[in-house]
Structure 1
Protein backbone atom coordinates (compact mmCIF):
# COMPACT_ATOMS: atom_id res chain seq x y z
CA UNK A 1 0.00 0.00 0.00
CA UNK A 2 2.92 2.36 0.73
CA UNK A 3 4.20 2.00 -2.84
CA UNK A 4 0.79 2.85 -4.25
CA UNK A 5 0.59 5.97 -2.06
CA UNK A 6 4.07 7.07 -3.17
CA UNK A 7 3.16 6.41 -6.82
CA UNK A 8 -0.08 8.40 -6.59
CA UNK A 9 1.63 11.26 -4.76
CA UNK A 10 4.50 11.15 -7.24
CA UNK A 11 2.13 11.39 -10.18
CA UNK A 12 0.48 14.53 -8.84
CA UNK A 13 3.78 16.09 -7.71
CA UNK A 14 5.35 15.59 -11.14
CA UNK A 15 2.32 16.98 -12.98
CA UNK A 16 2.13 20.07 -10.77
CA UNK A 17 5.89 20.62 -11.09
CA UNK A 18 5.57 20.51 -14.88
CA UNK A 19 2.66 22.97 -14.85
CA UNK A 20 4.49 25.43 -12.59
CA UNK A 21 7.63 25.08 -14.69
CA UNK A 22 5.64 26.03 -17.79
CA UNK A 23 3.91 28.95 -16.08
CA UNK A 24 7.06 30.47 -14.56
CA UNK A 25 9.49 30.87 -17.42
CA UNK A 26 12.54 33.12 -17.39
CA UNK A 27 15.19 33.43 -20.07
CA UNK A 28 18.12 34.42 -17.89
CA UNK A 29 17.57 32.51 -14.66
CA UNK A 30 15.68 29.23 -13.97
CA UNK A 31 13.08 30.83 -11.70
CA UNK A 32 10.56 28.01 -12.17
CA UNK A 33 12.80 25.28 -10.80
CA UNK A 34 14.06 27.54 -8.03
CA UNK A 35 10.47 28.34 -6.98
CA UNK A 36 9.49 24.67 -7.07
CA UNK A 37 12.47 23.57 -4.98
CA UNK A 38 12.02 26.35 -2.41
CA UNK A 39 8.32 25.53 -2.03
CA UNK A 40 9.16 21.84 -1.73
CA UNK A 41 11.73 22.52 0.99
CA UNK A 42 9.28 24.68 2.92
CA UNK A 43 6.44 22.18 2.73
CA UNK A 44 8.57 19.11 3.47
CA UNK A 45 9.75 20.48 6.81
CA UNK A 46 6.40 22.12 7.53
CA UNK A 47 4.41 18.94 6.92
CA UNK A 48 6.80 16.51 8.59
CA UNK A 49 6.85 18.74 11.68
CA UNK A 50 3.04 19.01 11.71
CA UNK A 51 2.72 15.25 11.26
CA UNK A 52 5.03 14.66 14.23
CA UNK A 53 3.59 17.37 16.49
CA UNK A 54 -0.12 17.74 15.77
CA UNK A 55 -1.65 15.43 13.21
CA UNK A 56 -2.04 11.71 13.63
CA UNK A 57 -1.52 10.44 10.09
CA UNK A 58 -0.84 6.97 8.77
CA UNK A 59 2.60 6.09 7.46
CA UNK A 60 1.05 5.37 4.07
CA UNK A 61 -0.46 8.85 3.71
CA UNK A 62 2.70 10.48 5.08
CA UNK A 63 4.84 8.62 2.52
CA UNK A 64 2.44 9.52 -0.28
CA UNK A 65 2.70 13.21 0.58
CA UNK A 66 6.40 13.47 1.45
CA UNK A 67 8.26 10.88 -0.64
CA UNK A 68 5.62 10.71 -3.36
CA UNK A 69 4.21 14.18 -3.95
CA UNK A 70 7.04 16.37 -2.64
CA UNK A 71 9.73 13.99 -3.91
CA UNK A 72 8.34 14.22 -7.43
CA UNK A 73 7.50 17.91 -7.09
CA UNK A 74 11.07 18.97 -6.26
CA UNK A 75 13.84 18.25 -8.70
CA UNK A 76 17.54 18.14 -7.95
CA UNK A 77 18.32 16.68 -11.37
CA UNK A 78 16.79 19.69 -13.13
CA UNK A 79 18.82 21.98 -10.87
CA UNK A 80 21.95 20.11 -11.97
CA UNK A 81 21.03 20.26 -15.66
CA UNK A 82 20.11 23.95 -15.59
CA UNK A 83 23.31 24.82 -13.71
CA UNK A 84 25.34 22.86 -16.25
CA UNK A 85 23.69 24.73 -19.12
CA UNK A 86 24.34 28.10 -17.47
CA UNK A 87 28.00 27.26 -16.84
CA UNK A 88 28.59 25.91 -20.36
CA UNK A 89 27.07 29.12 -21.76
CA UNK A 90 29.70 31.08 -19.83
CA UNK A 91 27.16 32.43 -17.32
CA UNK A 92 29.34 31.57 -14.35
CA UNK A 93 27.97 34.20 -11.96
CA UNK A 94 24.37 33.24 -12.73
CA UNK A 95 25.16 29.51 -12.49
CA UNK A 96 26.89 29.74 -9.14
CA UNK A 97 24.25 32.18 -7.90
CA UNK A 98 21.61 29.64 -8.86
CA UNK A 99 23.35 26.94 -6.84
CA UNK A 100 23.75 29.21 -3.80
CA UNK A 101 20.14 30.41 -3.98
CA UNK A 102 18.84 26.87 -4.45
CA UNK A 103 20.77 25.26 -1.62
CA UNK A 104 20.80 28.19 0.80
CA UNK A 105 17.25 29.18 -0.05
CA UNK A 106 16.07 25.58 0.30
CA UNK A 107 17.62 25.35 3.73
CA UNK A 108 16.16 28.73 4.75
CA UNK A 109 12.64 28.02 3.47
CA UNK A 110 12.77 24.61 5.14
CA UNK A 111 13.63 26.26 8.45
CA UNK A 112 10.78 28.73 7.91
CA UNK A 113 8.40 25.85 7.25
CA UNK A 114 9.47 24.09 10.43
CA UNK A 115 9.23 27.32 12.46
CA UNK A 116 5.70 27.95 11.20
CA UNK A 117 4.70 24.37 11.98
CA UNK A 118 6.11 24.62 15.50
CA UNK A 119 4.30 27.93 16.02
CA UNK A 120 1.02 26.38 14.86
CA UNK A 121 1.67 23.30 17.01
CA UNK A 122 1.85 25.54 20.08
CA UNK A 123 -1.58 27.01 19.37
CA UNK A 124 -4.62 25.36 20.88
CA UNK A 125 -5.25 23.37 17.70
CA UNK A 126 -5.00 19.66 18.28
CA UNK A 127 -6.09 16.99 15.86
CA UNK A 128 -3.60 14.36 17.00
CA UNK A 129 -5.11 11.49 18.91
CA UNK A 130 -3.51 11.49 22.35
CA UNK A 131 -4.85 8.05 23.25
Structure 2
Protein backbone atom coordinates (compact mmCIF):
# COMPACT_ATOMS: atom_id res chain seq x y z
CA UNK A 1 0.00 0.00 0.00
CA UNK A 2 2.86 2.39 0.81
CA UNK A 3 4.23 2.01 -2.71
CA UNK A 4 0.86 2.90 -4.23
CA UNK A 5 0.54 6.00 -2.06
CA UNK A 6 4.05 7.18 -2.94
CA UNK A 7 3.37 6.48 -6.61
CA UNK A 8 0.05 8.32 -6.60
CA UNK A 9 1.56 11.30 -4.81
CA UNK A 10 4.57 11.28 -7.14
CA UNK A 11 2.27 11.19 -10.17
CA UNK A 12 0.35 14.21 -8.88
CA UNK A 13 3.51 16.09 -7.88
CA UNK A 14 5.33 15.47 -11.16
CA UNK A 15 2.30 16.54 -13.17
CA UNK A 16 1.81 19.64 -11.03
CA UNK A 17 5.46 20.50 -11.64
CA UNK A 18 5.07 20.06 -15.39
CA UNK A 19 1.87 22.12 -15.55
CA UNK A 20 3.26 24.99 -13.45
CA UNK A 21 6.60 25.04 -15.27
CA UNK A 22 4.89 25.10 -18.65
CA UNK A 23 2.51 27.82 -17.53
CA UNK A 24 5.34 29.98 -16.17
CA UNK A 25 7.36 29.58 -19.37
CA UNK A 26 4.38 30.62 -21.51
CA UNK A 27 3.45 33.59 -19.31
CA UNK A 28 6.88 34.85 -18.21
CA UNK A 29 9.30 33.51 -20.81
CA UNK A 30 12.37 31.37 -20.39
CA UNK A 31 15.10 33.95 -19.75
CA UNK A 32 14.89 33.00 -16.05
CA UNK A 33 13.66 29.64 -14.69
CA UNK A 34 10.55 31.16 -13.08
CA UNK A 35 8.72 27.84 -12.99
CA UNK A 36 11.50 26.03 -11.15
CA UNK A 37 11.92 28.96 -8.77
CA UNK A 38 8.20 29.02 -7.96
CA UNK A 39 8.06 25.24 -7.59
CA UNK A 40 11.04 25.17 -5.22
CA UNK A 41 9.51 27.87 -3.03
CA UNK A 42 6.00 26.40 -2.98
CA UNK A 43 7.33 22.87 -2.51
CA UNK A 44 9.26 24.02 0.57
CA UNK A 45 6.10 25.66 1.89
CA UNK A 46 3.93 22.58 1.24
CA UNK A 47 6.35 20.17 2.93
CA UNK A 48 6.84 22.42 5.96
CA UNK A 49 3.09 23.04 6.32
CA UNK A 50 2.36 19.33 6.03
CA UNK A 51 5.06 18.47 8.58
CA UNK A 52 3.75 21.05 11.04
CA UNK A 53 0.21 19.71 10.68
CA UNK A 54 1.44 16.13 11.03
CA UNK A 55 3.34 16.99 14.20
CA UNK A 56 0.10 18.36 15.68
CA UNK A 57 -1.71 15.10 14.83
CA UNK A 58 -3.93 16.81 12.26
CA UNK A 59 -2.49 14.71 9.43
CA UNK A 60 -0.47 12.27 11.50
CA UNK A 61 -1.28 9.01 9.72
CA UNK A 62 1.70 7.42 8.00
CA UNK A 63 -0.37 7.08 4.83
CA UNK A 64 -0.50 10.88 4.57
CA UNK A 65 3.27 11.02 4.92
CA UNK A 66 3.72 8.56 2.05
CA UNK A 67 1.21 10.38 -0.14
CA UNK A 68 2.12 14.02 0.56
CA UNK A 69 5.66 14.28 1.94
CA UNK A 70 7.36 11.46 0.05
CA UNK A 71 5.13 11.13 -3.01
CA UNK A 72 3.75 14.54 -3.91
CA UNK A 73 6.64 16.67 -2.65
CA UNK A 74 9.20 14.18 -3.99
CA UNK A 75 7.60 14.30 -7.43
CA UNK A 76 7.06 18.03 -7.27
CA UNK A 77 10.55 18.98 -6.07
CA UNK A 78 13.32 17.48 -3.97
CA UNK A 79 14.36 21.02 -3.10
CA UNK A 80 11.55 21.04 -0.55
CA UNK A 81 13.17 18.13 1.30
CA UNK A 82 16.57 19.81 1.08
CA UNK A 83 15.29 23.05 2.63
CA UNK A 84 13.17 21.29 5.26
CA UNK A 85 16.07 19.08 6.38
CA UNK A 86 18.33 22.13 6.59
CA UNK A 87 15.69 23.91 8.67
CA UNK A 88 15.38 20.88 10.95
CA UNK A 89 19.15 20.84 11.55
CA UNK A 90 19.10 24.59 12.27
CA UNK A 91 16.22 24.18 14.72
CA UNK A 92 18.21 21.42 16.45
CA UNK A 93 21.15 23.85 16.64
CA UNK A 94 23.33 21.64 14.47
CA UNK A 95 24.76 24.66 12.66
CA UNK A 96 27.92 23.08 11.26
CA UNK A 97 26.05 20.18 9.64
CA UNK A 98 23.25 22.42 8.38
CA UNK A 99 25.28 25.25 6.92
CA UNK A 100 28.67 23.85 6.04
CA UNK A 101 28.02 20.27 5.06
CA UNK A 102 24.42 20.15 3.94
CA UNK A 103 23.52 23.56 2.57
CA UNK A 104 26.84 24.60 1.04
CA UNK A 105 28.15 21.06 0.54
CA UNK A 106 25.05 19.90 -1.34
CA UNK A 107 25.13 22.94 -3.57
CA UNK A 108 28.81 22.65 -4.43
CA UNK A 109 28.75 18.84 -4.77
CA UNK A 110 25.60 19.04 -6.89
CA UNK A 111 27.09 21.68 -9.13
CA UNK A 112 30.33 19.72 -9.53
CA UNK A 113 28.39 16.50 -10.22
CA UNK A 114 26.35 18.26 -12.88
CA UNK A 115 29.54 19.64 -14.42
CA UNK A 116 31.13 16.16 -14.53
CA UNK A 117 27.92 14.66 -15.94
CA UNK A 118 27.74 17.34 -18.60
CA UNK A 119 31.41 16.84 -19.45
CA UNK A 120 31.03 13.04 -19.65
CA UNK A 121 27.91 13.40 -21.76
CA UNK A 122 29.84 15.51 -24.24
CA UNK A 123 32.94 13.28 -24.24
CA UNK A 124 31.12 10.08 -25.18
Q: TM-score, normalised by structure 2?
A: 0.58
Residue 65 (structure 2) aligned to one of 56, 62, 67:
62
What count of residue pairs does the alignment treat as equivalent? 81
Residue 42 (structure 1) aligned to one of 41, 45, 49:
45
**Higher RCO (C-alpha 8 Å, min separation 6):** 1
Unaligned runs of 5+ in 1: 77-102, 112-131
Which residue of structure 2 lines up, in the alignment, with residue 2 of structure 1?
A: 2
Unaligned runs of 5+ in 2: 89-124
- 1: CA distance, partners of 2:31 / 2:2: 40
Q: TM-score, normalised by structure 1?
A: 0.55
Q: Deviations over 1:37-83 (max 9, x none)?
A: 1000011011111111140432022211111001101155xxxxxxx
Q: CA RMSD in A?
A: 2.2
User: For 1:9, what is the secondary structure of its paired residue?
Assistant: helix
- 1: CA distance, partners of 2:14 / 2:59: 26
Which of the two has greater helix per residue?
A: 2
